[in-house]
Amino acid sequence: MNFQQLEYVLAVHRTKHFGKAAESCNITQATLSAMIKKLEEELSIQIFDRSRHPIQTTDDGILLLKKAEDILAKQQELFHLGQMDTGEMMGEIRLGVIPTVANSLLALFLPSLLEQHPKLKLIISEITTDEILYQLAHNQIDFGILSTPIEELSEAYEEQILYYEAMMVYGIESSDKGFVSSKDVENKKVWLLEEGHCFRSQSMTLCKIREKKEQTENLQFKSNSFETLLNLSDQMGGLTLVPELYYNNLSAKRKSKTQFFQKPIPVREISLLAIKPISKKRSMQKLAELIQEIVTPQLKTAAFKNRDLNIIGI
């Protein structure tokens, strides 16, 4: 038995397919099948019911999966012992990031992270909040970067707040006030991201939009990108909301069409999340510190006091 066999078992359980599991592990399907078959023979159990479509994990297999997750977590602890003395991040870190954060955050901190820690292998997935929570719970990723607070988040998770960024309005006519209020966006068309994006639900909360109201429109369109929403606002009117880091990358023309809300400024809280016990606690701390160091100077909201901010939850 070896660690790779356990990783292959977890991959098949996750994908319910030998071919897809092999692809995710960067090996041939024949090799993966042979390694799992060898493990089954060694343990004298059947891990998967291959007669079912999709492939089903047997009861014995479920028990093995729980042990495999624990073993692989301990393996990662051993790999990261060297960081305690050197202060260097090394080994492999699997990171999940929600798309509405990834599009502006990754480019800010990745160059510095990889330059400062050349022995680090970083694997990043752009996935939704629900998928981050699932993959953390099943040891498929080490950390997640997502919007919080999440109401149903249990004590099994370790959370470290990275920053607060303003939610801003795009497409509103220029105003002498220099800011907008929630009343300024009520009863107006607001272009929203597709369901599954937490920024969508936060925008609906802030703009007091109801699903039923949307369904009365003769056009229903929900995008996966802020760029598309801005283009729709430009061509068809209406408003949309963008986060502050995304605003920082807009052209001067588009910045002139974007405004902050009045105080208390609605913000989204961005956090780094891990499942307890944390096998890479030092890596989590260093990653958080690096992101905070780089991002904080980019945000105007960082200069405001907590009483001036209104955290919009999920």
Do 158 and 278 lie in one domain? The reply is yes
C-beta of residue 105 within 8 angstroms of C-beta of residue 153: no
Rounded CA gap, 197 and 19, in Å? Answer: 29
Do 44 and 136 lie in one domain? The reply is no
**What are 265's strand-pairing partners?**
309
**What are 57's strand-pairing partners?**
48
Question: 62 lies in a domain?
Answer: yes
- Looking up residue 191, the CATH number of its domain turns out to be 3.40.190.10
Question: 305 lies in a domain?
Answer: no
- Looking up residue 24, the CATH number of its domain turns out to be 1.10.10.10
Question: 314 lies in a domain?
Answer: no
Domain boundary among 79, 104, 133: 79
Furthest CA-CA distance within the chain: 76
Domain boundary among 79, 107, 125: 79
CA angle 281, 287, 289 (to 5 degrees): 105
Question: 159 lies in a domain?
Answer: yes
Do 281 and 159 lie in one domain? The reply is yes
Rounded CA gap, 72 and 80, in Å? Answer: 13
pLDDT of residue 313: 86
Do 15 and 72 lie in one domain? The reply is yes
- The backbone torsions φ and ψ at residue 191, rounded to the nearest 5 degrees and listed phi first, read -80, 130
Domain boundary among 79, 101, 133: 79
Token readout for 170 is: 């795009």
Domain that holds residue 18: 3-79
Domain count, the chain: 3
Do 261 and 278 lie in one domain? The reply is no
Per residue of the chain (314 residues), what is the pLDDT tens digit?
A: 888 899 899 999 988 999 999 988 889 999 999 999 999 999 999 999 998 888 999 999 999 998 888 888 777 666 655 554 556 788 889 999 999 999 999 999 999 999 999 989 999 999 999 999 989 988 889 999 999 998 777 788 899 999 999 999 999 876 666 788 877 887 788 999 998 899 999 998 888 776 544 444 566 666 889 999 999 999 999 999 999 999 999 999 999 999 999 999 999 999 999 988 777 888 899 999 999 999 999 999 999 998 999 999 87
Do 180 and 251 lie in one domain? The reply is yes
Do 53 and 183 lie in one domain? The reply is no
Do 193 and 121 lie in one domain? The reply is no
Do 188 and 48 lie in one domain? The reply is no
Please spell the DSSP secondary structure of the chain, one letter per residue.
--HHHHHHHHHHHHHS-HHHHHHHTTS-HHHHHHHHHHHHHHHTS--EETTSSS-EE-HHHHHHHHHHHHHHHHHHHHHTTTHHHH----EEEEEEE-HHHHHHHHHHHHHHHHHH-TTEEEEEEE--HHHHHHHHHTTS-SEEEEEE--TT--TTEEEEEEEEEEEEEESPPP-TTSSB-HHHHTTS-EEEEPTT-HHHHHHHHHHT--HHHHHTSS---EES-HHHHHHHHHHH--EEEEEHHHHHTS-HHHHTTEEPBPSSEEEEEEEEEEESS-TTHHHHHHHHHHHHHHHGGG-GGGGS-GGGEEE---
Do 273 and 224 lie in one domain? The reply is no
